[in-house]
Amino acid sequence: MFRRSFNRFCAGEEKRVGTRTVFVGNHPVSETEAYIAQKFCDNRIISSKYTLWNFLPKNLFEQFRRIANFYFLIIFLIQVTVDTPTSPITSGLPLFFVITVTAIKQGYEDWLRHRADNEVNKSTVYIIENAKRVKKESEKIKTHYAVRDTIELRTVESIDNLRAAIECEQPQSDLYKFVGRINIYSNSLEAVARSLGPENLLLKGATLKNTKKIYGVAVYTGMETKMALNYQGKSQKRSAVEKSINAFLIVYLFILLTKAAICTTLKYVWQSTPYNDEPWYNQKTQKERETWKVLKMFTDFLSFMVLFNFIIPVSMYVTVEMQKFLGSFFISWDNDFYDEEINEGALVNTSDLNEELGQVDYVFTDKTGTLTENSMEFIECCIDGHKYKGVAQETDGLSQTDGPLPYLDRADKNREELFLRALCLCHTVEVKPNDTVDGVRESSELTYMSSSPDEIALVKGAKKYGFTFVGVQNGYMRVENQRKEIEEYELLHTLNFDSVRRRMSVIVKTQSGDILLFCKGADSAVFPRVQNHEIDLIKVHVEHNAMEGYRTLCIAFKEIAPDDYERVNRQLIEAKMALQDREEKMEKVFDEIETDMHLIGATAVEDKLQDQAAETIEALHAAGLKVWVLTGDKMETAKSTCYACRLFQTNTELLELTTKTIEESERKEDRLHELLTEYRKKLLREFPKSTRSLKKAWTEHQEYGLIIDGSTLSLILNSSQDSGSNNYRSIFLQICMKCTAVLCCRMAPLQKAQIVRMVKNLKGSPITLSIGDGANDVSMILESHVGIGIKGKEGRQASRNSDYAVPKFKHLKKLLLAHGHLYYVRIAHLVQYFFYKNLCFILPQFLYQFFCGFSQQPLYDAAYLTMYNICFTSLPILAYSLLEQHINIDTLTSDPRLYMKISGNAMLQLGPFLYWTFLAAFEGTVFFFGTYFLFQTTSLDENGKVYGNWTFGTIIFTILVFTVTLKLALDTRFWTWINHLVIWGSLAFYVFFSFFWGGIIWPFLKQQRMYFIFAQMLSSVSIWLTIILLIFVSLSPEMLRIVLRSVRRRSTRNPNLELPMLLSYKHIDSGYR
């Protein structure tokens, strides 16, 4: 829990421009100035979409924006207004059902969001009001915090007495930027001005670590906080499949309109001869004669549309919704996603995107907490080229001072101790004693704290070897050595770490009066500053460790003679005091001091990767996905993690676009341009044009990885409006597309989203997936097509805003390779099947118009028209789309290449679509003409009785129902009892229903069309034979295809085919050396 004091006051004149002024504690600064209350927004966070009041209109509006829903509404209205062959109920009822189900689903999801918002908004905070601490709900807070230079203010009262005003910029989304100024009016009227920077700003959602409470001033509130500004608007995500559905819908709508237009035209052509227009046996009614011809044509057109409207199935949307909704349970039920640590499994926040998991092209992942556990561990060190493995001794901790160290051979004792002392001294770690501590200091219970987890790991590592850092007292660093004696070192100077130098040093004075400088830093930063002969010994180890993906640091030291120290000391103090160019000066001094050092050794720290992170990334790579790591971390750390998790292989050639590579030149843009073109040239040489074969040609080519950092990225994306900027962008994208792995470091949250958006809008609009665990990943999670949250340590913001949340990164593998693949195959098949079965259904109806004078006579009975999609053929496909596993889950997860087969929405492309459409057209034609020719026979019965049009329709309908159901049976690879039940059950139900429907004179029906049609039909042997034959003929192309496919599979079984050679990281160890 953290508490902050917030002051709810503020005054100011500008609204959005310029700066805002916040008065601390609501106290006017001076009596003379009139106090003007300024309006700031309240502290409420809103991520929900609807309110109680606007839900109905807004939701209905959103729903009818869907092409399909709108279309059905139109059809319904036509049926209501125009005299049509089918009743309005046939389309009105399903539409109402779909709308209601969707509204309930979306309402429920929004209610969940409301609840989550409330959770945040109602969390308690304390506000100082008139020197009292008042408990308030968070949403009532009015603006936000900053403290500095007010160290003496430790109590409620003193805060209350503070008279200050904070001037700061208007809310901005950049997390790492804050410009402000605080004017403190102490007793004297003169204001003391201090500058405020990002280091003084606490972001919303931040957690206090080293202190229990903190007093602050609210600067930005609610939707104006930087975190909230980094949220993206919640827009409804739509999957690629849904887009395909819409495309198909338009095709089918076109078919429908064409059919209706053809029929209407032909009708009037046909009716142009008077005896066809009005034969004596079918005279027109008075009303018909009077109707205006154009209007009649129009209503005829609409009637045909209604007659054929079943070609676009309303029930498909119900089935798709149900499939998605029910299907998503498989994810949350999956035991493999269950994590025992947090006692939770996967979480599905939206069911709309299940199939999108099978379509991912780009994976954007956060690093810390996602790829790594965010906990560092000391692995080994080397001293003068002797390797020390630091794992074995944990059994009896510290007492084992002289115990056998697991070293290969041992360095000189002095050097060893020097190294360990260096580890203990050269850091900025603070010690937090345990609460219970007094007197007896149990050093093993010390808690170390530092902004850098590496340092803690190093200090802990030293502890394993017997040197314990106990703490700082009065400027003395206290270290307990192997003999349990306390050594004290006076800390003279700390030369802080910075990313340019990439090293840090301390200057200490030993008890004996020697002045020592200890330096630790990246190898590249240290090696040039030490003696050459020392490097060779260490270098091997460092390189080896880096290869292993460990974070390596080199340790060096230097003795400073007292005279020298005097000079150094003076220079340092001078530099620190400088008001102008302070940083440059400091750097210069540091540079001078950190020379001629002696290398003692190197350390290897592991930012522990999450369990199976490397395997997962490897699998994703093998599945043809491009993995991008987007992190706020610095480049070196990120890079080593990328090596560790096999994002970069040893043979990956890295292209770097970072501040480091670019700043070497004076004109950044020129240099950038130069690099970009150079890289592009290189890549184009490697992959001549064929972007398509990139996935396939995985192994034959050199792999490229790209590293880019935030500032360079913004240089590329935002570089001025001059002609070059667009060019940069496209070159950059070309490079990105050719790289198998990309690492983006030093990213702000919005930049992450920017990258995602950029990739999303690439040619061919690839499907992106983002995975992250922290609040800073939310924007990218929301931006990408699929957002995955890790239920990590950094709060629940990510998982709440994600579409799916899993406990660990490793779960991504099964989520994509198995679940995603299956969902995609299922829904793609579902969609194709639905269009197929309805084309089969309606085509005979269309053909029949040619034989009934285009009079809109329906071929099938109204009950069949309505029930076909709802009852007879709906359940088998639903069961299929829930249960089908055309390939085993185990096979799917173990062979990632299978994922490539469905990439690029493969099953919903033009080819498969045409196949299904032609199949449907073929079958519809076979049904119709097969039965048509049968009906040319004098009699179908041995007793000479004749059959009418309804029998004709019923025969076709029977063949239709059996064919489409059996077609599905042919497609089903995974027969569970449910499949059996619904497939055979549906057929049985059809037969039963037909008997039943025809068995009774229904009192509520005007027409008893179906009376005994079905039973009479089955009494004819010819009809039986026809039904069987036509079913077989209709299915034969499909059967042939299945047989041919299995033949092909058998023949292509090639023993040489293996997984693409992605070096498994387990082999790399032995491969080295």
Partner 1 sequence: MKQQQLPAFRLQLSANEILSGFFAIGLFCLGMGIILLLSAKSIREVEINYTEKCATCAKLREDATNFDKECNCSISFYLPQKMEGNVYLYYKLYGFYQNLYRYILSRSNIQLVGTDVKDVRNCAPFKTSDNGLPIAPCGAIANSMFNDTIVLLYNFNSSTHIRVPMVRTETAWWTDKYVKFQNPTFQNLSSAFAGTAKPPNWPKPVYELDEKDPGNNGFVNDDFIVWMRTAAFPNFKKLYRRLHRIGNFTEGLPAGSYSFIINYNFPVGRFQGQKAVVLSTLTWSGGSSLFLALAYLVTGAVTLLASFSMMAVHLKLKERKTFFLQ
Minimum distance, C-beta of residue 1023 to partner 1, in the bound complex (Å): 9
Give me the torsion for CA of 805, 808, 813, 819, rounded to 10°.
Answer: -30
**Long-range contacts of 894-898, Cβ-Cβ distance < 8 Å, separation of 24 or more:** 895/1059, 896/619, 896/620, 896/621, 896/622, 896/623, 896/624, 896/817, 897/622, 897/623, 897/624, 897/1059, 897/1060, 898/623, 898/817, 898/821
Task: Tell me the C-alpha distance between 633 and 743, whole Å.
Answer: 11
Minimum distance, C-beta of residue 323 to partner 1, in the bound complex (Å): 14
Minimum distance, C-beta of residue 299 to partner 1, in the bound complex (Å): 13
455 is in an annotated binding site: yes
631 is in an annotated binding site: yes
776 is in an annotated binding site: yes
Minimum distance, C-beta of residue 854 to partner 1, in the bound complex (Å): 9
Minimum distance, C-beta of residue 1008 to partner 1, in the bound complex (Å): 5
Both tokens assigned to 214: 């903190």
Minimum distance, C-beta of residue 1014 to partner 1, in the bound complex (Å): 11
Are 816 and 623 in contact, with CB atoms under 8 Å apart? yes
The helix (H) or strand (E) run that includes residue 27 is none
Minimum distance, C-beta of residue 961 to partner 1, in the bound complex (Å): 19
DSSP state letter for 202: P
Residue with tokens 């004017």: 183
Using a 10 angstrom Cβ sphere, with 0-12 exposed, 13-18 middle and 19 or more buried, the burial of residue 790 is buried
The answer for 494, left when phi > 0, alpha when psi is -120 to 50, beta otherwise, is beta
Both tokens assigned to 470: 């106990």
Minimum distance, C-beta of residue 307 to partner 1, in the bound complex (Å): 9
The helix (H) or strand (E) run that includes residue 956 is helix 949-971
Task: Tell me the C-alpha distance between 603 and 476, whole Å.
Answer: 25
E strands present in 481-614: 486-495, 503-509, 515-521, 551-560, 598-609
- CA 830, 833, 839, 841 dihedral sign is negative
Task: Tell me the C-alpha distance between 391 and 395, whole Å.
Answer: 10
Give the CA angle between residues 365, 367, 371 to the nearest 5°: 85
Between 348 and 655, whose beta carbon lies closer to partner 1?
Answer: 348
Both tokens assigned to 865: 């028209």
Between 628 and 824, whose beta carbon lies closer to partner 1?
Answer: 824
Smallest CA-to-CA distance from 695 within 762, 794, 629, 626 is with 626
Please, how many CA atoms are within 13 Å of residue 682, restricted to the half-sphere of its CB? 18
746 is in an annotated binding site: yes
Check if 366 is active-site: yes
Between 653 and 941, whose beta carbon lies closer to partner 1?
Answer: 941
Minimum distance, C-beta of residue 668 to partner 1, in the bound complex (Å): 54
Residues 6+ apart with CB under 8 A from 328: 348, 351, 354
Smallest CA-to-CA distance from 312 within 213, 228, 246 is with 246
Minimum distance, C-beta of residue 259 to partner 1, in the bound complex (Å): 16
Residue 429 vs residues 426, 498, 590, 619, 1034: alpha-carbon distances, Å: 9, 16, 21, 38, 77
Task: Tell me the C-alpha distance between 303 and 296, whole Å.
Answer: 10
Q: Which residues of 182-206 are buried (b: 16+ CB within 10 A; e: fewer)?
A: bbbbeeeeebeebebeeebbbbbbe
632 is in an annotated binding site: yes
3-state class of 23 per DSSP?
strand
Minimum distance, C-beta of residue 976 to partner 1, in the bound complex (Å): 4
Q: How far from the centroid of its chain's Cα atoms is residue 962's Cα?
A: 42
Q: Which residues of 725-745 are buried (b: 16+ CB within 10 A; e: fewer)?
A: beebbebbbbbbbbbbbbbbb
Identified catalytic residue from 110, 366, 607, 861? 366
Residue type (1 letter), 63 = Q
Minimum distance, C-beta of residue 330 to partner 1, in the bound complex (Å): 6
Both tokens assigned to 210: 């080293």
Provide the pairing of β-strand 503-509 with 515-521: antiparallel
Smallest CA-to-CA distance from 6 within 152, 118, 166 is with 166
Partners of residue 127 on adjacent β-strands? 6, 134
Partners of residue 126 on adjacent β-strands? 5, 135
Please, how many CA atoms are within 13 Å of residue 499, restricted to the half-sphere of its CB? 11
Output the known binding site.
366-368, 455, 497, 520, 551, 631-633, 746, 752, 773, 776-777
User: Binding site for ATP, residues?
Assistant: 366-368, 455, 497, 520, 551, 631-633, 746, 752, 776-777
The residues annotated with a catalytic role in the active site are 366
